[in-house]
Amino acid sequence: MRFERASMAEEIEEIRRQKLAELRNQAETGGAGESDWQSPSEPIHLDGGAELSDTVAEHDVVLADFYADWCGPCQMLEPVVETIAAETDAAVAKIDIDANQQLAAEYGVQGVPTLVLFASGQPAERLVGMQDEAQLRSVIEKHV
């Protein structure tokens, strides 16, 4: 057990060193450049309405995935959502309904997974249940 903890601590320290080097490089080059204007290539895990509002304000199209860890269809949807984040112009936000019950209620989430597509700062589409990649791409393309 001690070896695992030491190994994990070493990994965390290496990640910290890499991140510090990235931040220093960004500071020296005046920021991240054009990548600031692109959608993230991985889902963004949000906690709370303020983070969702900031994300929706920052990106033209945001696909918000309201999910729960215990939800089988949510787990099946996860790789699809990750692909959508990596390959489309939409930012993908993941919101755990158990940790964000008030936010889920605010958006009328009664079953999971529920996907809400925001376009130009407003909810534009709502999809409930398991979705395939083609369906999500089609919905996003209507709003990009």
Catalytic residues: 71, 74
Edge-first strand order for the sheet with 44-46 is 44-46, 91-96, 61-67, 114-119, 122-128
Residue entry with tokens 């080097």? 21
Query: How many other CB atoms sit within 10 Å of the CB of residue 73?
Result: 15
Query: How many other CB atoms sit within 10 Å of the CB of residue 130?
Result: 13
